Structure 1
């Protein structure tokens, strides 16, 4: 099966499960952990992956489903 583009997909798990192309931006997680600011504001234009980045963080930090998320 060919990889898809994933247009309109806003959930990291769905993006991986549907075998869509994904530009790995997980390096920003390390930056978030190193930065000790109380508030982080994510500003991007519409359709620039803000929700996808937030769901990536959700699955990364979710300890309740850690084993399942580790497979992503």
Structure 2
């Protein structure tokens, strides 16, 4: 199985690109969330997975 580079501890987008790390753009997900009508939005993910930043 191929190893995936994840940007642990890298907070600079340029460094993420230079290090050939994976980056997940959640812009489309945010738009979908705003388009749907719910009483409560529950996002379950592991710790430090970007839940608060996404909200």
TM-score by length of 2: 0.51
Gaps of 5+ in 1: 10-14, 55-72
Structure 1 partner of 2:35: 34
**Richer in helix (by share):** 1
Question: How large is the RMSD of aligned CA atoms in angstroms?
Answer: 2.3
Q: How many residues align?
A: 42
Runs of 4+ aligned residues of structure 1 deviating over 4 Å after TM superposition are: none
Please identify the structure whose Cα radius of gyration is greater.
Answer: 2
TM-score by length of 1: 0.42
Higher relative CO (CA 8 A, sep ≥ 6), structure 1 or 2?
A: 1
